[in-house]
Amino acid sequence: MGISKVGIVGAGQMGNGIAHVFALAGYDVLLNDISADALEKGIATITRNLDRQVSREKITEAEKDATLARIKTTETLADLGPTDLIIEAATEREDVKNAIFESLLPHLGPDTILTSNTSSISITRLASRTDRPEKFMGFHFMNPVPVMQLVELIRGIATDEATYKTLLEVVDTLRKTAASAEDFPAFIVNRILMPMINEAVYTLYEGVGSVKSIDESMKLGANHPMGPLELADFIGLDTCLAIMNVLHDGLADTKYRPCPLLTKYVEAGWLGRKTQRGFYDYRGEVPVPTR
């Protein structure tokens, strides 16, 4: 299966990053979102990130211009139908993802591969709602996409070998590394990472340490580049909570119970960097712990 045209649903943090790396690798990209404003912001982010790569001499000015020229935008989901590969990178809600795939189905070519950038939702279940479960996979990029080297490839129970091998080759052309995961809740990275973050929130909730002491302990004591609470703010506390709920519901084990403090922060709308407040307050010049 030759892949040359790629459709991406969602121009947010993940979607624009995915568009960036595909266009830089030479693919023609059609980026979709429900609003022109979101698409404008997405292209502005891609341009900024490409400028950063030029300034660091990772790419040339000519490569930047060629990359931007390969990205087109549309507010009409059906326009993605003729592409060879579609990557859904919408919000981490199963009902939203199902609605997107349902809307796409009448417009797809017979060989179009469907994928989801979901970080935790069952690929088998998403695929079962489409007309091509054998051509459906999880295609999970890490954030920030232009920087992070890993892509998780998740086969549903019906995914065929040709689809899997095609996406392995695609990851190779992006100069990233594929990790193959089975279709169990949260796959590999988040199955391990999110309980660690959740435990850090419990450590804060129980008064074992402050935000600062917890993050400093893991950075200096375990050599993590970011503390777990700082990382949670970067990911988004709503996303962390959603993944913990998927783990808790899917595996029925109390060790995955989301910390009540994490739930409380999400209820307050303190979702991390994207709302300027989470475990840190980002409204000043320097982030300040909120507990």
Give the chain as a 3 state SS string.
CCCCEEEEECCCHHHHHHHHHHHHCCCEEEEECCCHHHHHHHHHHHHHHHHHHHHCCCCCHHHHHHHHHCEEEECCHHHHCCCCEEEECCCCCHHHHHHHHHHHHHHCCCCCEEEECCCCCCHHHHHHCCCCHHHEEEEEECCCCCCCCEEEEEECCCCCHHHHHHHHHHHHHCCCEEEEECCCCCCCHHHHHHHHHHHHHHHHHCCCCCHHHHHHHHHHHCCCCCCHHHHHHHHCHHHHHHHHHHHHHHHCCHHHCCCHHHHHHHHCCCCEHHHCECCEECCCCCCEECC
Could you confirm whether 217 is annotated as catalytic? no
Catalytic residue among 88, 92, 152, 230: 152
Indicate if the alpha-carbon torsion angle 127, 19, 243, 192 is positive or negative: positive
Active-site option among 119, 120, 122, 198? 119
Tell me the C-alpha distance between 112 and 117, whole Å. 16
Active-site choice (88, 190, 198, 230):
190
Query: Does 116 participate in catalysis according to the annotation?
Result: no
Residue tagged active-site, from 20, 117, 140, 198: 140
119 assigned to active site: yes
**Whether 180 is catalytic:** no
For β-strands 177-181 and 5-9, DSSP reports them as unpaired
Catalytic residues: 119, 140, 152, 190
